[in-house]
Amino acid sequence: MSQLETPLFDALLKHRNRQPIQFHIPGHKKGQGMDPAFREFVGDNVLSIDLINIAPLDDLHSPKGVIKEAQKLAAEAFGADHTFFSIQGTSGAIMTMILTVVGPGDKIIVPRNVHKSTMSAIVLAGAIPIFIAPEIDTEYGISHGISAESVERALNTYPDAKAVLVINPTYYGFAADLKKIVDVAHERSVPVIVDEAHGVHIKFHDELPISAMEAGADMAATSVHKLGGSMTQSSVLNVREGLVSINRIQSVFSMLTTTSTSYPILASLDCARRQLAVNGHELIDESIRLAKDARKRINKIPHLKCAGREKLNSSATYDMDPTKLLISVKDLGITGHQAEEWLRQNANIEVELSDLYNILCIITLGDTKKEVNLLINALQRMSQAFDSEASIVESLVRVPDIPALAMSPRNAFYSQTEMMPLKDSAGYICSEFIMVYPPGIPIFIPGEIITEENIKYIQMNIDAGLPVQGPEDPSLKTIRVIKERKPIF
Ligand SMILES: Cc1ncc(COP(=O)(O)O)c(C=O)c1O
């Protein structure tokens, strides 16, 4: 088959054109049984392909027909041996990767700043996380990836580790020396699994960081919906055979996936793959050009700063994706959150994210010069609006110690717990996730022993007005810990 073809989308169109009389779910039956206002708004086309796994349309849980063909074309496009379509985002694909490589008591090496789906899978698997501290950028107040050297040290210290997980690239677009990390792990026959949520496009342009499959990684969970032009929730799990088994992945994937798979979402994956494979280079080239131009212009706006290749100085910050515009607003005397709100109120612009010091704007296949000009114009106006408050601000980015893990996150998750005053909690085992932004690294995860140093770190951040995330008690006067078993006399 050729990359110009879309077997799954074509099968849906063919099926719809036959106009079969449907006696199966979904019960809205091509929209006829649906609330009219919603039906009219979304249109009959999408509803007519909102179908289910009847024989002509194959089954994601055991693909033998058009889904198999579509996945095969995707594997070819991504340079993988096998591709699984996920309709549960990259979160679902990450959980599949982790539950494939680790079981109860197994160690897995992960960066401390992992996405919550990684920690959820570690809890479900009953695995033991071995954390690597990511590199910190004190200028922008963000965390980067992990270095190949730290992965090597972790593997030397824990030779029984069953896998290494790498985030490549990070949300902010920075990439580690993935090839080196893969080589270090493969020398020990340890599989490398990659959270590639922000990297679907990188395979299709040589000015972008190396993709997980190109670097020789064993699995990569990749959000096609984020930067690759498909519908929200659609991702792929790319696999290189050797250290992991396709059959095992298929069964774990099936355990975690709904039996009511969305065909519009699957079809959008099929078509996004075609667009990336056939026109990806040209489209991404234009995004890169627009973003580079935007970066240059932002760096000329007083008090604003947009991160670029000058940040690349270690094996954790080895390469970058120029289509991510990380814009520091701290010297304007406002927070990233205030900038987000100002842009919403005054320019009708929605940014990708904001934190204490920055906003992040992404330039994708969907942008043109017009949108970029609107952004630059709005940023210039914002700079003028706050000009009188501007001053050089030192960022307050400190890194917490990683506490000792007393029990697996899974055991902590299932233990009996109680609330206690934070100030008295040293020595107890934490049962919640607590992090401070920036740099968004957990201070505690369930199962870790609370220390005086970490309590002081939390207090220092609260006193500095930095947002603490995760605890049940948002004031953090109290913390949830594993209930102490007192001796009975
Ligand atoms: C680093 C990282 N990994 C994984 C995910 C999960 O991706 P998805 O939203 O496709 O489930 C995200 C989502 O923002 C992310 O930022």
pLDDT 10s per residue in the chain (489 long)?
Answer: 999 999 999 999 999 999 999 999 999 999 999 999 999 999 999 999 999 999 999 999 999 999 999 999 999 999 999 999 999 999 999 999 999 999 999 999 999 999 989 999 999 999 999 999 999 898 998 999 999 999 999 999 999 999 999 999 999 999 999 999 999 999 999 999 999 999 999 999 999 999 999 999 999 999 999 999 999 999 999 999 999 999 999 999 999 999 999 999 999 999 999 999 999 999 999 999 999 999 999 999 999 999 999 999 998 999 999 999 999 999 999 989 899 999 999 999 999 999 889 999 999 999 999 999 999 999 999 999 999 887 877 776 777 778 999 999 999 999 999 999 999 999 999 999 998 776 778 899 999 999 999 998 888 888 877 778 889 998 889 999 999 777 777
At 178 the three-state DSSP class reads: helix
| Closest residue by CA, ligand 1 atom 13 | 197
Radius of gyration of the chain (CA): 24
Please state whether beta strands 136-137 and 358-362 pair in parallel, antiparallel, or not at all (unpaired). unpaired
At 296 the three-state DSSP class reads: helix
115 Cα to the center of ligand 1, angstroms:
7
pTM above threshold 0.75: yes
User: In whole angstroms, how far apart are CA 168 and each of 179, 235, 248, 315, 420?
Assistant: 11, 15, 24, 12, 38
Q: What are the structure tokens assigned to 159, written together?
A: 């030779």
For 148-224, where are the E strands, in sequence order? 163-167, 174-175, 192-196, 219-223
114 Cα to the center of ligand 1, angstroms:
10
| Closest residue by CA, ligand 1 atom 12 | 197
394 Cα to the center of ligand 1, angstroms:
30
Q: Assess contact for 351 and 378: CB atoms under 8 A.
A: no
Query: Could you tell me if the CB of 90 is within 6 A of ligand 1?
Result: yes
197 Cα to the center of ligand 1, angstroms:
5
Q: Which of 94, 117, 225, 268 maximizes ligand 1 atoms within 8 Å of its Cβ, making it the mutation to test the pocket? A: 117
Task: Give the span between the Cα atoms of 232 and 87, in whole angstroms.
Answer: 9
The per-residue pLDDT for 438 is 66
Query: Could you tell me if the CB of 195 is within 6 A of ligand 1?
Result: yes
Q: Find the distance separating the first CA and the last CA of the chain, reported in whole Å.
A: 75
Task: Give the span between the Cα atoms of 211 and 203, in whole angstroms.
Answer: 5
113 Cα to the center of ligand 1, angstroms:
12
The per-residue pLDDT for 460 is 81
Task: Give the span between the Cα atoms of 362 and 167, in whole angstroms.
Answer: 18
Q: What are the structure tokens assigned to 100, written together?
A: 């494939």
Q: Which residues pair with 167 in a beta bridge?
A: 195
Q: Assess contact for 211 and 203: CB atoms under 8 A.
A: yes
Task: Give the span between the Cα atoms of 169 and 322, in whole angstroms.
Answer: 11
At 308 the three-state DSSP class reads: coil
Q: What is the DSSP string of 439-478?
A: TTEEEE-TTBBP-HHHHHHHHHHHHTTPPEES-SSTT-SE
The per-residue pLDDT for 344 is 97
Q: Which of 193, 223, 362 maximizes ligand 1 atoms within 8 Å of its Cβ, making it the mutation to test the pocket? A: 223
> Within a 10 A sphere around the Cβ of 447, how many other Cβ atoms?
25
Please state whether beta strands 163-167 and 174-175 pair in parallel, antiparallel, or not at all (unpaired). unpaired
> Within a 10 A sphere around the Cβ of 380, how many other Cβ atoms?
16
* Nearest-atom index, ligand 1, CA of 88: 11
226 Cα to the center of ligand 1, angstroms:
9
Query: Could you tell me if the CB of 171 is within 6 A of ligand 1?
Result: yes
The per-residue pLDDT for 356 is 84
| Closest residue by CA, ligand 1 atom 14 | 197
91 Cα to the center of ligand 1, angstroms:
6
Query: Could you tell me if the CB of 235 is within 6 A of ligand 1?
Result: yes
483 Cα to the center of ligand 1, angstroms:
33
Q: Which residues pair with 164 in a beta bridge?
A: 109, 192
Task: Give the span between the Cα atoms of 402 and 451, in whole angstroms.
Answer: 10
Kindly state the helix (H) or strand (E) to which residue 181 belongs, with its residue range.
Answer: helix 178-186
Query: Could you tell me if the CB of 89 is within 6 A of ligand 1?
Result: yes
The per-residue pLDDT for 388 is 87
